Amino acid sequence: MQNRALEDFIDRHSRLFVLTGAGCSTNSGIPDYRDRHGNWKRTPPVTYQAFIREHATQQRYWARSLIGWRRFGNALPNDAHHALAKLEATGRSNILLTQNVDGLHQVAGSKQVIDLHGRLDMVRCLGCASTTSRSTFQGELTRLNDAWLTVEAADAPDGDADVEEDFSSFVVPSCQSCGGVLKPDVVFFGENVSRDIVATAKSHLNEADGMLVVGSSLMVYSGYRFVQMAAQNGLPIAAVNLGRTRADHLLALKIEDRCEAALAFLL
């Protein structure tokens, strides 16, 4: 019955603003951050301030990422991604704004996508802003730290791995152009989303006739603010999420189900 209500909601709107979060990718083998109550499941991720200030934090981040990327980099879209690509292909969404950094919406075929928090498959220099692909950078990390390839660890969100070792011997490459610090081209906690990205997303929201949230607790303000804007614009808002969201009081419809199950009718 609930899923029929979601089907009816989507049928009533032709310019949906879609916002997705980690729950959209869990069935692709990428863990999420929060439990059903919106609380952290594990230690919160590294902050931008710690990463740029402490070489030890860079060593820890890249060592764990070297291990985690082996599976994260090979993740494939699941039915939730394919369903949202179908929603776009049939002309019922005007944009997909994702908080995820895995690029799986694009792999599934979605074309109108804004990566709110960037993409993990690129690495950017904080000095000269030059970029390189993560696959190339992974090769360099591996060449300099081959002993770490034998480490096994459970996956953590966003290509991280649950590893606690002495990271002091881990070699972090510098930018080949300027010697600067290299960082994944994503927005870390404590870092601001680009104003241009926010403005572009807001312009799409102003053209929408409804909003659909898929797999996000909306506990992070960078995503939650768009739900606030939608409510201020008088747009009806539906959400698919297992557990509490920060915007429960603003929703016209909420479906507590796995994303791929709730959206299966689109396929």
**Catalytic site positions:** 117
Q: Among 32, 30, 122, 134, which residue's Cα sits nearest to residue 76?
A: 30
Which SS3 state, helix, strand or coil, does residue 88 take?
helix
Cα gap 146→81, rounded to integer Å: 34
Phi/psi for 209 (5° steps) reads -115, 5
Supply 169's token pair: 């011997």
CB neighbour burial string for 205-234, b if at least 16 within 10 angstroms, e if fewer:
beebebbbbbbbbbbbebbbebbebbbeee
Contact in structure between 7 and 204 (CB atoms under 8 Å): no
Contact in structure between 101 and 25 (CB atoms under 8 Å): no
Cα gap 27→143, rounded to integer Å: 31
HSE-up (13 A, CA, CB side) for residue 82: 11
Supply 222's token pair: 């960078």
- DSSP letters spanning 180-228: --EEEEE--BT-PPPHHHHHHHHHHHHH-SEEEEES----SHHHHHHHH
